[in-house]
């Protein structure tokens, strides 16, 4: 029997149980807190400590959890030689939609039709065509009131199940391994205090992709703009010619962002901008804008455009001030990974050997693969199987998770 079917027969229930347990823990990250403290939320510590105890229970005791929530575990090779291979996944979930009180729903023998969730959310092949692939299989969704958390608790469950396989199959041949679980990937700040000096891996695989069979060697260049609007507050009864409303300044700025360059209006190789968060009042308001592009020159253009919008808002609100602070979040990893064709070939073969064709994609987002690659550890992103990340209609198919485990074990060899 091939590896995929062996895992499906012997480890499907364990894999599903792991994912459901991890998904139920609220690990929503917090952007504001993450700029001061990593991990940004207590729930991430809860999951990290659980993973640490489960790794030790499997017999993998060479493990440490540092004060910034990075859990690193080393596993000797069998035989104990060769270069070390790393696997990485993140414990936090997106703050874009609620992640507290996640109640996963398991749809066994999925009929192939529409699934009704809370708040009139309908999940069906009409709005999520990949569902057609998994008719009569097991599908997992949230109840519709929250996200599911497959990004990236599916990746965690798959790595942990692969390690469970190793612990129960002592003769399984594999290279020395390094397992890394990290916090605050969704805020972009979790790797800011990553202990690079502790990493022994020659290369790494992030299990944080989407569609079954997919892998990624290219991602967006990602930047963040913190835009501060300083107004002048005075009683509105005497505000004529004197009051400068920072909220109105921020609203004008957001409305000037080109709608045809928003995430909802672009796909393929096109970059975008979007307003991520706004807070404040008349006297002062702060706006966070994210912007993305595969092209580094286009990022420079977008940075200049944001500065130009700031000056336009100042001109429209005499007495007001606009300050723009720009920060890089991660870089397109394609240029660096192009130097490692053998690594890309290994991942292609691992997916092919699991029984399906590999699908190379450019991801319109990013992951810790890009950040770790920039630190000098070439890291490819491989699929975890989740669909509709960062939404209440997020779902995952159990066969895709089984396939991911097979790919991980193939890579470990």
Q: Given the structure tokens 């020395």, which residue do they identify? A: 176
Assess contact for 148 and 104: CB atoms under 8 A.
yes
Q: Tell me the β-bridge partners of 361.
A: 216
User: How many whole angstroms separate alpha carbon 42 and alpha carbon 91?
Assistant: 11
| Token digits of residue 176 | 């020395």
Could you list the active site residues? 92, 185
């Amino acid at each position: 029997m091939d590896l995929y079917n062996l895992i499906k027969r012997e480890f499907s229930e364990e894999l599903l149980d792991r994912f459901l347990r991890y998904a139920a823990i609220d690990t929503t990250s917090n952007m504001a807190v993450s700029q001061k403290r990593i991990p940004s939320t207590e729930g991430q510590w809860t999951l990290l400590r659980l993973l640490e105890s489960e790794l030790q229970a499997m017999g993998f005791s060479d493990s440490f959890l540092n004060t910034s929530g990075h859990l690193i575990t080393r596993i000797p090779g069998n035989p104990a030689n060769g270069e070390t291979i790393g696997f990485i996944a993140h414990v936090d979930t997106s703050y874009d939609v609620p992640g507290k009180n996640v109640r996963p729903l398991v749809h066994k023998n999925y009929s192939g039709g529409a699934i009704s969730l809370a708040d009139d959310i309908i999940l069906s092949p009409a709005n999520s065509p990949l569902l057609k692939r998994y008719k009569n299989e097991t599908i997992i969704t949230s109840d519709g009131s929250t996200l599911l958390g497959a990004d990236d608790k599916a990746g965690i469950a798959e790595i942990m199940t692969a390690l469970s396989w190793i612990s129960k199959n002592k003769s399984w041949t594999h290279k020395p391994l390094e397992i890394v679980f990290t916090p605050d990937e969704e805020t972009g700040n979790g790797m800011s205090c990553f202990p690079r000096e502790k990493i022994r891996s020659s290369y790494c695989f992030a299990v944080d992709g989407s569609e079954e069979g997919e892998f990624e060697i290219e991602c967006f260049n990602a930047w963040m703009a913190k835009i501060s609007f300083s107004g002048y507050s005075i009683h509105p009864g005497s505000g004529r010619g004197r009051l400068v409303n920072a909220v109105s300044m921020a609203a004008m700025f957001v409305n000037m962002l080109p709608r045809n360059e928003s995430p909802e209006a672009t796909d393929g190789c096109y970059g975008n901008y979007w307003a991520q968060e706004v807070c404040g009042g008349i006297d002062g308001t702060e706006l966070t804008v994210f912007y993305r592009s595969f092209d580094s020159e286009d990022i420079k253009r977008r940075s200049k455009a944001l500065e130009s919008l700031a000056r336009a808002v100042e001109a429209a609100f005499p007495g007001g001030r606009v300050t723009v602070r720009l920060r890089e979040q991660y870089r397109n990893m394609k240029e660096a990974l192009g130097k490692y064709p053998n690594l890309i070939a290994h991942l292609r073969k691992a997916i092919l050997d699991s029984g399906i064709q590999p699908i190379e994609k450019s991801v319109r987002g990013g992951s810790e693969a890009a950040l770790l690659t920039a630190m000098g550890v070439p890291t490819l992103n491989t699929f975890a199987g989740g669909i509709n990340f960062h939404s209440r209609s997020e779902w995952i198919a159990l066969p895709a998770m089984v396939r991911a485990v097979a790919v991980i074990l193939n890579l470990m060899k």
